[in-house]
């Protein structure tokens, strides 16, 4: 294995997979499109998950778990939903294998009476249950989330961004009124924005999806949309107002206070392991990952430099009080006492994106100093061991903010406004990035632009200004201000 990654500027997607495997985040599974999330990558996911789980619970939701298998017939109950997912479902048709001439074969006698599908998303099972659980307005709102794996049999896959099986959370809520459902949808959108920006340091735009891009079965899909290091857009999370579509499909009604029967209003929302792809592609550089401190598996790595056993002992004793303080205050650290050379460790931990490296050798011990190196800027400085805890805490916060600022500046530098379709085309072709412009809201327009430029409507800006704008393509008065970009 070569030691360096393919340079990011030279080949972004080559760089991406290189970083993931070399940093030890994930590996390819034996079945096409599957991925093994290795301990270092999973630890990153756990930190993300725990941060979000807390926000979900703090806003009144509870966790539950619904089954992996769904009767095939369930999917068919909501017309748009089937159309969206039918093409990518794994289907279980048999329950048994048996010995054949050339090894194991599917036992034809074990064919299932009703085939089951592996969930591509759980709306259908969940709404089949909600029908049983919801009778009265007193049962509402029902606010349930689940952490689960789902399977979508995609043509083309990419580590974290689009794998056949992926991990996510999916929230499914039921409400008495349209307004309440809309409020819920937007509440979750704000939580996703907070997760992305404050924890992952990934700046996101929020807004509505176009008809073409919305979730199959939703009335409205809101999204958080981010710009990756190659200036392409990544949908990082979605929150759907499902209206009464699923309630009608599954017959979920409730009795109101004045004894009327009404269909409930629904929402669903999810973010997935794809977010880790966003973190990698937003912050990474030619040396590897750069992880935001709030979710980094290790916030600081200690690289001791020693020759003799005596050095080892001295360093160990020298560091002990500081490390205890780290431990007691929840700073995640790792001591690398492996026999590799210091230079090797520096590169290794930079590849893994650890925000701060602490170097300490006999020289420092004598002077009661340690050296701190920042992964985000590369800056290296000597500090007294006294008060190192507060210095580290301060630096972690600074790095978290700096990563966000860098990404935000990058996005702003690569977001262009235009009213001219000629300019639009050349921007997409030559420069990439986001294009902010007017759109007449017609699907036809969107389709044409997609065919001609490969750019799609990523996001209809909620705070868009349309008063004087014209559609960049048709020249008609703009209905929305939107972001166009090439997307993942």
**Which residues are at the interface with RNA (CB under 7 A)?**
1-4, 13, 17, 28, 31-33, 84, 87-88, 152, 154-158, 161-164, 166, 213, 215-216, 235, 238, 272-274, 287, 305-307, 339-344, 346-348, 350-351, 359-364, 371, 373, 378, 380, 454, 487-488
Residue 260 or 312 having the CB closest to RNA: 312
Residue 347 or 418 having the CB closest to RNA: 347
Closest CB 91 distance from RNA, rounded Å:
15
Residue 98 or 381 having the CB closest to RNA: 381
Residue 329 or 386 having the CB closest to RNA: 386
CA atoms within 13 A on the CB side of 392: 31
Q: Taking a C-beta distance cutoff of 8 angstroms, is the pair 397, 293 a contact?
A: yes
Closest CB 235 distance from RNA, rounded Å:
3
H helix or E strand, kind and range, residue 289: none
Q: How far apart, in Å, are the Cα atoms of 485 and each of 96, 445, 453, 459?
A: 47, 15, 9, 9
The Cα–Cα gap between 168 and 65 comes to 12
Residue 295: partners with Cβ closer than 8 Å, 6 or more residues away? 44, 47, 48, 51, 199, 200, 279
Residue 373 or 478 having the CB closest to RNA: 373
Closest CB 181 distance from RNA, rounded Å:
19
Closest CB 257 distance from RNA, rounded Å:
37
Closest CB 370 distance from RNA, rounded Å:
7
Closest CB 209 distance from RNA, rounded Å:
9
β-strand partners of 222: 208, 239
Residue 13 or 413 having the CB closest to RNA: 13
The Cα–Cα gap between 187 and 59 comes to 9
Beta 261-263 vs 253-255: how paired, if at all? antiparallel
Residue 103 or 330 having the CB closest to RNA: 103
Closest CB 486 distance from RNA, rounded Å:
9
Q: Cα torsion at 431, 435, 438, 443 (round to 10°)?
A: 90
Q: Which of 368, 375, 321 is nearest to 351 (CA)?
A: 375
Closest CB 457 distance from RNA, rounded Å:
12
The Cα–Cα gap between 6 and 461 comes to 36
Q: Is 460 exposed, middle or buried (0-12, 13-18, 19+ CB in 10 A)?
A: buried
Closest CB 453 distance from RNA, rounded Å:
10
Residue 161 or 280 having the CB closest to RNA: 161
Closest CB 467 distance from RNA, rounded Å:
30
SS3 state at 411: helix
Residue 20 or 264 having the CB closest to RNA: 20
Q: Taking a C-beta distance cutoff of 8 angstroms, is the pair 213, 464 a contact?
A: no
Beta 111-118 vs 380-384: how paired, if at all? unpaired
The Cα–Cα gap between 243 and 81 comes to 13
Residue 74 or 215 having the CB closest to RNA: 215
DSSP class per residue in 327-363:
HHTT--EEE--SSS-HHHHHHHHHHTT-SEEEEE-HH
Residue 264 or 301 having the CB closest to RNA: 301
Closest CB 323 distance from RNA, rounded Å:
16
The Cα–Cα gap between 174 and 40 comes to 37
């Amino acid at each position: 294995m070569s030691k360096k990654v393919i340079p990011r500027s030279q080949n972004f997607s080559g760089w991406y997979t290189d970083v993931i495997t070399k940093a030890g985040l994930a590996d390819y599974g034996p079945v096409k499109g599957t991925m093994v999330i290795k301990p270092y990558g999973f630890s990153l996911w756990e930190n993300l998950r725990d941060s979000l789980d807390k926000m979900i619970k703090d806003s009144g939701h509870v966790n539950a778990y619904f089954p992996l298998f769904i009767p095939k017939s369930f999917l068919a109950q909501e017309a748009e939903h089937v159309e969206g997912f039918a093409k990518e479902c794994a289907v279980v048709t048999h329950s048994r294998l048996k010995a054949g001439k050339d090894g194991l074969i599917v036992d034809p006698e074990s064919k299932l009476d009703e085939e089951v599908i592996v969930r591509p998303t759980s709306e259908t099972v969940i709404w089949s249950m909600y029908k049983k659980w919801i009778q009265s307005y007193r049962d509402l709102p029902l606010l349930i989330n689940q952490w689960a794996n789902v399977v979508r049999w995609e043509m083309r896959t990419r580590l974290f961004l689009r794998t056949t099986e992926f991990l996510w959370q999916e929230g499914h809520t039921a409400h008495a009124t349209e307004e309440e459902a809309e409020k819920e949808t937007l509440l979750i959108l704000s939580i996703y924005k907070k997760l992305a920006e404050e924890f992952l340091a990934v700046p996101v735009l929020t807004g509505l999806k176009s008809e073409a891009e919305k979730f199959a079965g939703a009335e409205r899909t809101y999204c958080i949309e981010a710009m990756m290091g190659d200036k392409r857009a990544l949908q990082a999370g979605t929150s759907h107002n499902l209206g009464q579509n699923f309630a009608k499909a599954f017959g979920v009604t409730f009795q109101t206070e004045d004894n009327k029967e009404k269909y409930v209003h629904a929402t669903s929302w999810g973010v997935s392991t794809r977010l880790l792809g966003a973190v990698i592609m937003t912050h990474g550089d030619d040396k590897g990952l750069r992880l935001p401190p709030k979710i980094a598996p290790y916030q600081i790595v200690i690289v001791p430099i020693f020759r003799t056993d005596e050095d080892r002992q001295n360093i160990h004793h020298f560091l002990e009080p500081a490390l205890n303080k780290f431990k007691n205050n929840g700073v995640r650290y790792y001591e690398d006492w492996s026999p590799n050379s210091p230079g090797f460790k520096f590169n290794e931990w930079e590849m893994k994106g650890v925000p701060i490296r602490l170097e300490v050798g006999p020289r420092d011990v004598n002077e009661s100093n340690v050296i701190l190196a920042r992964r985000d800027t590369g800056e290296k400085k000597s500090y007294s061991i006294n008060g190192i805890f507060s210095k580290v805490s301060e630096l972690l916060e600074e790095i978290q903010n700096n990563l966000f600022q860098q990404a935000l500046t990058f996005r702003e530098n690569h977001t262009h406004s235009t009213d001219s379709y000629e300019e639009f085309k050349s921007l997409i072709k030559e420069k990439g990035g986001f294009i902010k412009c007017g759109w007449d809201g017609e699907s036809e327009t969107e389709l044409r632009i997609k065919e001609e430029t490969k750019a799609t409507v990523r996001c209809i800006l909620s705070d868009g200004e349309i008063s004087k704008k014209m559609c960049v393509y048709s020249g008609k008065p703009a209905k929305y201000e939107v972001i166009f970009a090439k997307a993942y």
